[in-house]
């Protein structure tokens, strides 16, 4: 017996400024192409796991989103990429932290999962594994785009200006800066009813090098469990780690008997928001229900239920 | 209004072989001294956070336990140390992954938390921060003991022998090898009713370098939340990450309305064990209730309720 497949992705949340519709069109188009990558897998009877990896790998390759090519810059003007995957069928998971030369970090996370010796792997070990497994290796400059470098300089200039005004106070976290945060991710239910989630990020503009965000961390930025839901998060990563947000959605369903929509909404409002966290998530329940709540101004997102049209949106 | 303080620690689980009582005495004695470090803090009205850090730092300094001095060796004959702390009052948290030169990784995790720019920090950044904050920096050889090097050679010899017998099969994970896994940790409730947890580890003997275990990961090996409980875990780390075990105990209390003892026992039996995970945890509930379940043969553990005698145990 099969069930209809479901797929959803996000391309990052944060305080996206409303712009002219012409500027938004490329995002909608890019999300449709990424969805097509996952739909192709699911429509051929493939697994949720393969579908979310295919979708996220496409988003990594697209310079519009903060993951892979187009990643933001750390404070040292380099890139450090994190990614994680989880298979709701087996609860197997893999993550890579701080990699600099793997074209598709999400594929490296999948190799960590398949290899099975550990769940979360630091940069050097992950890069060795990726090379051994024949993944595409690139120069660190592959990830750089002029647009992201301009963002780094803008954030620095603003922090410098604020610091000059008041030496005793830590500059604010620039949460209002467009595109400062960003992540890509996908969740899916396949025709056999199995769930999976994948998340990948370039981190935060001007972040301290060595910071490991929520994206590769099981139960924080990525989580999947066939008994409840699959979750991929985006936003102010430290708050998502402290909130264990992915697992919190699962736990509200498992122990609190909420449905996926209620669990996602309440996890955001009652667990994340009180910590000051901002962002959102895409969630698919075991019943195929989708939830895509966010408390930032916007979240790039797209979704499909098998047989329906693909939907895309940025603002509420 | 104040409440009586509570403190518990573990010095690692795993399939500890029963030995002559004379060989066990140093462990009981070491745990009593570590408990005294935390009790001194709590008895003077100090915070649960300071108490668990003081307790864990002492266990790191003691060569009997797999953390700090006495850490096990990675496959490359070096050491990589992970540690994490969480403050149940604020849900602030800090973790360091793979550090090699910080005498007390748990103190570095605390500095990451205080600095506040990120929750989980990779090795190079953490070592820079630790040096800036004046923490004790040591040569990597400080962590080495002849006993742990012998363990590495023993594990390798056994894996080599097994591999020679059957080339097609992956050697077993040596889960029966005494001391292959190990972690130290502590949980506390202070007189103001605040909770905290800290966990520190030298990892697994012969582990792949670059592996990040569960100890520094919020919601996996370390978790604290004043509304429910504080948890420190020890065992087969990858299973604890996939199970989000620390947060699972919290969630069973928060959403399933279980008490700390039931939540800890059921998390171990129903969430961890089905994945094949082995180990245990120490848990203190917001009401001061202690739980110290494990499914391995033994777990080094000690506990005290204010005004009572300190208890210590290794086996069931």
Dump pLDDT digits (tens) for A284-297: 999 999 999 999 98
A227 given a catalytic annotation: no
Instruction: Reduce the DSSP state of residue B155 to 3 states and report it.
Output: helix
> Which pLDDT value is given to residue B151?
86
Q: Hey, are the CB atoms on A210 and B93 less than 8 Å from each other? A: no
Q: Is the pLDDT of residue A9 over 80?
A: yes
Tokens representing B18? 């029963």
**pLDDT top residue among A217 and B166:** A217
**In which band, very low, low, confident or very high, does the pLDDT at A173 lie, cut at 50, 70 and 90?**
very low
**In which band, very low, low, confident or very high, does the pLDDT at B316 lie, cut at 50, 70 and 90?**
confident
> Which pLDDT value is given to residue B18?
67
Window 244-283 of A: residues touching B by CB (8 A cutoff) are 244, 247-248, 251-252, 254-256, 275
Q: Hey, are the CB atoms on A242 and B123 less than 8 Å from each other? A: no
> Which pLDDT value is given to residue B165?
53
> Which pLDDT value is given to residue B43?
98
Q: Is the pLDDT of residue A37 over 90?
A: yes
> Which pLDDT value is given to residue A22?
75
- List CB contacts of B20: < 8 A, sequence separation 6 or more: none
Q: B6-313 — its CATH code?
A: 3.60.20.30
Dump pLDDT digits (tens) for B57-96: 999 999 999 999 989 888 888 899 999 999 999 999 999 9
* Alpha-carbon span B35 to B58, nearest angstrom: 9
Q: Match 């800890």 to its residue by tokens.
A: B264
DSSP assignment, residue A206?
T
- Among A291, A175, A242, A230, which Cα is nearest to A47's? A230
Neighbours of A315 (CB within 10 A): 11
Q: Which chain B residues contact residue A123 at CB under 8 A?
A: 122, 210
Domain ranges across chain A: 6-313
Tokens representing B30? 């070491």
Dump pLDDT digits (tens) for A88-105: 999 999 999 999 999 999
* Alpha-carbon span B27 to B56, nearest angstrom: 15
Q: Hey, are the CB atoms on B119 and A241 less than 8 Å from each other? A: yes
- DSSP line for B11-37: EEEE-PPP--HHHHHHHHHHHHHHHHH
Contact status, residue B258 vs residue B266, Cβ threshold 8 Å: yes
Q: Hey, are the CB atoms on A121 and B251 less than 8 Å from each other? A: no
Dump pLDDT digits (tens) for B174-229: 444 445 668 999 999 999 999 999 999 998 888 888 999 999 999 999 999 999 99
ipTM: 0.93
Is the CB of residue B124 less than 8 Å away from at least one CB of chain A? yes
Q: Which chain B residues contact residue A119 at CB under 8 A?
A: 237-238, 241-242
DSSP assignment, residue B217?
S
Q: Is the pLDDT of residue B167 over 50?
A: no
**pLDDT top residue among A221 and B77:** A221
- DSSP line for A23-39: HHHHHHHHHHHHHHHHH
Beta bridge partners of A224: A230
Dump pLDDT digits (tens) for A125-165: 999 999 999 999 999 999 988 888 888 888 888 877 665 55
> Which pLDDT value is given to residue B129?
97
> Which pLDDT value is given to residue B176?
42
- Span of B25-39, B86-100, B140-154, B241-255 with lowest mean pLDDT: B140-154
- Name the burial class of residue A261, with classes exposed (0-12), middle (13-18) and buried (19+) by CB atoms within 10 angstroms of its CB: middle
Mean pLDDT of A80-93: 97
Q: Is the pLDDT of residue A63 over 80?
A: yes
The total number of residues written for chain A in this structure: 316
Find the catalytic residue in B6, B55, B183, B205. B183
- Pairing mode, strands B311-315 and B93-99: unpaired
């Amino acid at each position: 017996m099969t069930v209809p497949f479901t797929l959803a992705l996000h391309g990052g949340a944060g305080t996206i400024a409303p712009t002219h519709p012409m500027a938004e069109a490329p995002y909608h188009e890019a999300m449709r192409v990424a969805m097509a990558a996952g739909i192709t897998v699911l429509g051929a009877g493939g697994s949720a796991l393969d579908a979310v990896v295919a979708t996220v790998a496409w988003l990594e390759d697209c310079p519009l989103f903060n993951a892979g090519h187009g990643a933001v810059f750390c404070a040292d003007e380099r890139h450090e990429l994190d990614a994680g995957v989880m298979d709701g069928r087996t609860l197997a998971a893999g993550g890579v932290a701080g990699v600099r030369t793997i074209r598709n970090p999400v594929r490296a996370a999948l190799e960590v999962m398949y290899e099975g010796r550990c769940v979360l792997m630091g940069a050097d070990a992950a890069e060795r594994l990726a090379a051994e497994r024949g993944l595409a290796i690139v120069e660190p400059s592959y990830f750089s785009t002029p647009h992201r470098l301009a963002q780094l300089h803008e954030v620095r200039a603003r922090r410098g200006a604020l610091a000059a005004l008041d030496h005793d106070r830590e500059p604010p976290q620039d949460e209002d800066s467009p595109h400062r945060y960003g992540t890509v991710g996908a969740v899916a239910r396949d025709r056999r009813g199995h769930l999976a989630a994948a998340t990948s990020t370039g981190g935060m503009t001007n972040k301290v090098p060595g910071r490991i965000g929520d994206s590769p961390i099981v139960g924080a930025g990525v989580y999947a469990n066939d008994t409840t839901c699959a979750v991929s998060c985006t936003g102010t990563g430290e708050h998502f780690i402290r909130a264990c947000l992915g697992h919190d959605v699962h736990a509200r369903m498992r122990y609190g008997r909420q449905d996926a929509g209620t669990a996602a909404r309440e996890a955001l409002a009652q667990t994340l928001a009180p910590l000051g966290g901002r962002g959102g998530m895409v969630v698919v329940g075991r019943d195929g229900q989708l939830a895509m709540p966010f408390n930032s101004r916007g979240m790039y997102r797209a979704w499909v239920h098998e047989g329906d049209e693909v939907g895309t949106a940025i603002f509420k």
